[in-house]
């Protein structure tokens, strides 16, 4: 990152380069100090967090300025490549440690299962996607490395104090904090998007950011817990779309387990829909409230069941309410289907698979302008014919 | 089918043993690098990375892909000729309130002394108030007969447009005023005056409408003392036809072969035919000359 930033052409960017370079140096120094045993893990993490926070702010400022200069835009692409490369190297360096519990095979199976669903989602969102692959891969790496570290920083003290069998720690505190932290990348993207009036991403763009973030988080958690598998038959029909979805039994009843990717994607779908299409529909707040309730209902109840301290009646009630753990899966499928039908009309309704991947820049800009216009005016074409242009 | 998942799983990253996870600082650095990579990747929309940046649309933190706009499309053309400029903004009254009514039949009111100049007809003084109107009973409504009044409906309070009997639409503005617009399909967005006096309107829906003005229709005529005639046209204008002064109103064939024309103004004109071949040049055949 630092090498890329120092090549900034404009004199006015020098302060940004200095601050950004300093923040990156601070984060790396904290990491090295932790490896050298100079700093304890908690303190090193806090230093790294401070540096990373400043670095992100600098990147955000530079990204905003990049609109005015082709050179700056190319610079941001270089910064993106370097950032993704650094993150990828950290993942590779971490693999021996995080797969220590069960080896690389379950990790590879789980990686394939997560990518299967992400690829399907990418395919479905193809007609309305405006963001490039870098944003999604960056979100996945952030979920895998950064957000799991943050979640442990927040959750581990209470878990260590109360024990892993504590309902308060593992079935209340951990699910709530994890679901909240996984929304950080999405919050950043939504914050930028909602300021814009001339160009906006689609709801499915933001949903994919959430899915990639959750997928990375799930990959880390499964690897460190020594689990991970790929199955298209464990849960009838649902496993065709979510091969990472688990299946277990509780009180003699079968329970499907969606996992972090689907949970985060569903919350993001509800939140972004309510924010972006609040002019089109009344009471859009129902979407995020329902999504959050369903996700926390599954996450909390299933963690509580695993602790072994939930009585049979409450267990069965929770299983019924969550449709045997299938509620979030079905809500996500229905929500994505509805939003793609809506946004496909907004961007013209044309069937042009060649523009789905790779996504041309001009096509991305055309879609984002149409999406912004529809979201701002509250008017969505009721048919493909009235949608006007096509891809 | 083999159930490869038989146990309920724990969704808890914090419950994993510390021996299996990477140091938090490393995770934060790697995660932050990934976040920067993803964030910077937003700058170039699409999968190809960054492209050429356009004009910055607005300030604030945003990826450039959400501010770059292509140039506006060129105006539509008809047979290679550019259309007239777009229609002007909605008309307002002099006090700034939106214009919400059609043309009035009542004459405009002018301050004393500011009345516009009106030319008087040439020739005899026309009858007072112009030519006398010819009554046409079938067109004249009975004083007792009920008259149909095309009154616009009340505008909708929710801001949606209401359609008036004449096809126009009226919208209630937030400030309580109303704005009346022509039907979109026939709304002229430009007009061209043609050489023959007709006007061609370019409508919003791409069609054109050509208005041909009616010819000046005379509804009254006066024969003036000088022989000219003054026509009082339907549009209020007058046209005076002056006959040519040498117009022949009679002709007489003389014995010598010449012809005498009796003109409208009382004068006469004699046309002498050219001499035939063999006669003496310049010789007179007029018996008056002998």
- Name the pTM for this structure: 0.64
Nearest-CA distance from A317 to chain B in Å? 17
Question: Residue B243's pLDDT is what?
Answer: 66
Q: Which of chain B's residues have a Cβ under 8 Å away from the Cβ of A172?
A: none
Mutate to test the interface with B, among A134, A264, A316 (most CBs of B within 10 A): A134
Q: Which of chain A's residues have a Cβ under 8 Å away from the Cβ of B10?
A: 164, 170, 225, 303, 306
Which of A83, A185, A234 lies closest to B3 in CB terms? A234
Q: Please, which pLDDT band fits residue B52 given cuts at 50, 70 and 90?
A: very low
Q: pLDDT (tens digit, 9 = 90+) per residue, B120-155?
A: 445 444 445 545 544 443 344 444 444 444 566 666
To the nearest whole percent, how much of chain A has pLDDT over 90? 66
**Does A100 sit within 8 Å of B49, measured CB to CB?**
no
Which of B9, B36, B69 lies closest to A79 in CB terms? B36
| pLDDT (average), residues A334-361 | 91
Q: Which of chain B's residues have a Cβ under 8 Å away from the Cβ of A257?
A: 5, 8-9, 11
Q: Which residue has the higher pLDDT, B226 or A223?
A: A223
Nearest-CA distance from B23 to chain A in Å? 6
Kindly give, in sequence order, each residue whose CB lies less than 8 Å from that of residue A117, ignoring residues fewer than 6 positions away. Answer: A211, A215, A241, A242, A243, A244, A261, A262
**Contact present, A253 and A316 (Cβ < 8 Å):** yes
For all residues of chain A together, what is the average pLDDT?
A: 89
Secondary structure of chain B in HEC code, one letter for each residue: CCCCCCCCCCCCHHHCCHHHCCCHHHHHHHHHHHHHHHHHHCCCCCCCCCCCCCCCCCCCCCCHHHCCCCCCCCCCEECCEECCCCCCCCCECCCCCECCCCCCCCCCCCCCCCCCCCCCCCCCCCCCCCCCCCCCCCCCCCCCCCCCCCCCCCCCCCCCCEECCCCCEEEECCCCCEEEECCHHHCEEEEEECCCCCEEEEECCCCEEEECCCCCCEEEEEECCCCCEEEEECCCCEEEECCCCCCEEEEEECCCCCEEEEECCCCEEEECCCCCCCCCCCCCCCHHHC
To the nearest whole percent, how much of chain B has pLDDT over 90? 2
Is B256 a residue whose pLDDT tops 90? no
For chain A, give every domain's residue range.
7-98, 103-390
ipTM of the complex: 0.87
Q: Which residue has the higher pLDDT, A348 or B42?
A: A348
Q: pLDDT (tens digit, 9 = 90+) per residue, A194-203?
A: 988 889 999 9
Nearest-CA distance from A136 to chain B in Å? 7
Q: Please, which pLDDT band fits residue B247 given cuts at 50, 70 and 90?
A: low
Is B166 a residue whose pLDDT tops 90? no
Coil/strand/helix, residue A247:
strand
Question: Residue B279's pLDDT is what?
Answer: 46
| pLDDT (average), residues A35-53 | 85
Coil/strand/helix, residue A91:
helix
Handedness of CA B145, B150, B151, B154 (dihedral sign): positive
**Does B61 sit within 8 Å of A192, measured CB to CB?**
yes
Nearest-CA distance from B148 to chain A in Å? 39
**Does A174 sit within 8 Å of B30, measured CB to CB?**
no
Nearest-CA distance from B93 to chain A in Å? 28
Rounded to 10°, the helix A184-195/B24-41 angle is: 30
Which of B21, B33, B47 lies closest to A357 in CB terms? B47
Which of A33, A139, A198 lies closest to B57 in CB terms? A198
| pLDDT (average), residues A65-78 | 74
Is B99 a residue whose pLDDT tops 90? no
Is A74 a residue whose pLDDT tops 60? yes
| pLDDT (average), residues A296-310 | 94
| pLDDT (average), residues B107-122 | 53
How many A/B residue pairs have CB atoms within 8 Å? 420
Q: Which residue has the higher pLDDT, A24 or B66?
A: A24
Q: Please, which pLDDT band fits residue B207 given cuts at 50, 70 and 90?
A: confident
Which of A49, A83, A359 lies closest to B36 in CB terms? A83
Residue of B nearest to A137 (CA): B38
Query: What span, in angstroms and rounded, lies between the C-alpha atoms of B264 and B248?
Result: 6
Q: Please, which pLDDT band fits residue B57 given cuts at 50, 70 and 90?
A: very low
């Amino acid at each position: 990152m630092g090498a890329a930033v120092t090549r900034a052409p404009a004199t006015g960017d020098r302060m940004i380069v200095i601050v950004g370079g300093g923040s990156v140096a601070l984060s790396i120094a904290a990491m090295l100090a932790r490896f050298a045993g100079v700093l304890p893990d908690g303190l090193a993490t806090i230093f790294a967090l401070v540096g990373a926070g400043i670095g992100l702010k600098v990147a955000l400022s530079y990204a905003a300025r990049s609109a005015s200069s082709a050179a700056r835009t190319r610079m941001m692409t270089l910064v993106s490549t370097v950032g993704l490369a650094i993150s990828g190297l950290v993942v590779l360096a971490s693999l021996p440690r995080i797969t220590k519990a069960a080896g690389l095979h379950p990790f590879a199976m789980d990686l394939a299962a997560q990518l299967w669903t992400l690829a399907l989602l990418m395919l479905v969102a193809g007609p309305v996607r405006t963001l490039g692959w870098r944003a999604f891969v960056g979100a996945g790496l952030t979920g895998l490395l950064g957000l799991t570290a943050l979640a442990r920083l927040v959750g581990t003290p209470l878990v260590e104090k109360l024990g892993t069998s504590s309902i308060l720690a593992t079935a209340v505190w951990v699910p709530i904090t994890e679901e909240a932290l996984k929304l950080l990348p999405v919050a950043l993207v939504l914050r930028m998007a909602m300021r814009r009036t001339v160009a906006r991403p689609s709801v499915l763009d933001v949903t994919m950011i959430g899915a990639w973030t959750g997928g990375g988080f799930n990959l880390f958690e499964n690897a460190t817990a020594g689990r991970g598998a790929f199955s298209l038959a464990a849960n009838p029909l649902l496993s065709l779309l979510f091969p990472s979805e688990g299946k277990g039994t509780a009180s003699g009843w079968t329970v499907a387990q969606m996992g972090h990717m689907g949970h985060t994607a569903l919350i993001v779908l509800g939140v972004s829909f309510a924010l972006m299409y609040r002019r089109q529909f009344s009471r859009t707040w129902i979407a995020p409230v329902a999504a959050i309730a369903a996700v926390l209902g599954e996450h909390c109840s299933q963690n509580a069941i695993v602790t072994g301290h939930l009585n049979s009646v409450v267990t069965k009630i929770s299983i019924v309410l969550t449709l045997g753990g299938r509620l979030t899966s079905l809500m996500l499928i229905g929500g994505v289907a509805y939003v793609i039908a809506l946004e496909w009309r907004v961007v013209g309704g044309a069937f042009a698979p060649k523009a789905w991947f790779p996504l041309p820049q001009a096509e991305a800009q055309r879609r984002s302008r149409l999406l912004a216009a529809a979201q701002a005016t509250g008017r969505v074409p009721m048919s493909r014919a009235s949608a006007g242009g096509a891809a | 089918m083999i159930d490869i998942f038989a146990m309920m799983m724990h969704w808890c990253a914090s419950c994993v043993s510390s021996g299996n996870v990477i140091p938090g600082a490393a995770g934060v650095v790697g995660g932050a690098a990934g976040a920067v990579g993803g964030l910077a990747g937003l700058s170039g929309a699409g999968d190809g990375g960054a492209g050429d940046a356009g004009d910055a649309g607005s300030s604030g933190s945003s990826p450039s892909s959400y501010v770059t706009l292509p140039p506006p499309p060129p105006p539509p053309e008809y047979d290679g000729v550019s259309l007239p400029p777009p229609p002007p903004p909605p008309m307002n009254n002099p006090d700034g309130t939106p214009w919400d009514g059609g043309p009035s039949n009542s004459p405009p009111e002018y301050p004393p002394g500011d009345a516009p100049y009106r030319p008087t007809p040439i020739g005899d003084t026309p009858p007072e108030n112009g030519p006398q109107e010819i009554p046409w009973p079938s067109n004249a409504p009975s004083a007792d007969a009920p008259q149909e009044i095309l009154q616009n409906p009340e505008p909708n309070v929710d801001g949606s447009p209401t359609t008036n009997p004449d096809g126009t639409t009226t919208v209630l503005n937030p400030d309580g005023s109303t704005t009346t617009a022509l039907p979109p399909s026939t709304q002229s967005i430009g007009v061209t005056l043609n050489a023959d006096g007709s006007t061609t309107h370019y409508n919003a829906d791409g069609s054109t409408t050509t208005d041909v003005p009616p010819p000046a229709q005379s509804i009254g005529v006066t024969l003036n003392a000088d022989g000219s005639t003054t026509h009082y046209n339907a549009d209020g204008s007058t046209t005076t036809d002056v006959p040519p002064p040498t117009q022949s109103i009679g002709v007489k064939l003389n014995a010598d072969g010449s012809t005498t024309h009796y003109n409208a103004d009382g004068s006469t004109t004699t046309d002498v035919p050219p001499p035939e071949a063999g006669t003496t040049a310049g010789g007179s055949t007029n018996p008056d000359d002998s």
